[in-house]
Amino acid sequence: MCTALIPVAMHYLVDDEASGQAAPASATTASATTPSASADPVAAPPEPESSHAVPGTGRVSAPVRPATSAITPSAVVEAPLGTVADGATTVAVAPPPADPGGEAVRYRGSLTFGSYHLDLAQPRDIEGMNVWPTHRDVLHGDPDYQLVQWLDDALPGRADCAGYLFDHARKDADSLIVGSRVCGRTPGGRIFRIEILGFGENNRITGHVTVWE
């Protein structure tokens, strides 16, 4: 009787071991469907083209700076028709009119100093006889010149400058700014006035110059 039960017991033991080793179907399915962590990332959308893109090339050009004039302005002077100024651009106009105060004018025009001999009908550089800038805001007169900065708000005429020079004449007019007025006397005794218009590189000073006879 005991020997008859042994095959039956062995059958149940084999079935139990087989059922314990089989993997659940749900676990196998989940493993097969889980996405891999190493999948490629989604590509970012392309950036919009620059407003400086070159059509049809895919390249981007640098912004172009507006062109500026490479011409250095020279002194611009007013002179009688047909004259030529050394080192300056001459504007062909009629001879300068008389001063509103009735004084005769020898020269009137804009000059960029530079060095100019102001006794000449057409001012130009004459070594040792010039008005010229020693610093950015200083005009200096060579020997026999007199200069002084006019310190009144009113625009001085010939008589005003002559009287002011009598009491305050110097060799330099300094601390000049745009709008300053300078009175002076040339080696030939002519009274002049310089109205400061601006400053440039290399200590250049631009002014509107009136020289009376």
Per-residue pLDDT at 94: 46
- Domain membership of residue 100 (yes or no) is yes
Asked whether the beta carbons of 196 and 177 are under 8 A apart, the reply is: yes
Total domain count, the chain: 1
Asked whether the beta carbons of 129 and 142 are under 8 A apart, the reply is: yes
Residues spanned by the domain of 130: 82-212
Per-residue pLDDT at 102: 74
Per-residue pLDDT at 19: 44
- Domain membership of residue 36 (yes or no) is no
- Domain membership of residue 164 (yes or no) is yes
User: Which residues have C-beta within 8 Å of that of residue 73, sequence separation ≥ 6?
Assistant: 112
Low-confidence stretches of the chain (pLDDT beneath 70) = 1-101
Asked whether the beta carbons of 150 and 132 are under 8 A apart, the reply is: no
Model confidence, pTM: 0.56
- Biggest distance spanned by C-alpha atoms of the chain: 160
Burial degree of 208 (CB within 10 A; 0-12, 13-18, 19+):
middle
Per-residue pLDDT at 204: 96
- Domain membership of residue 29 (yes or no) is no
Per-residue pLDDT at 70: 33
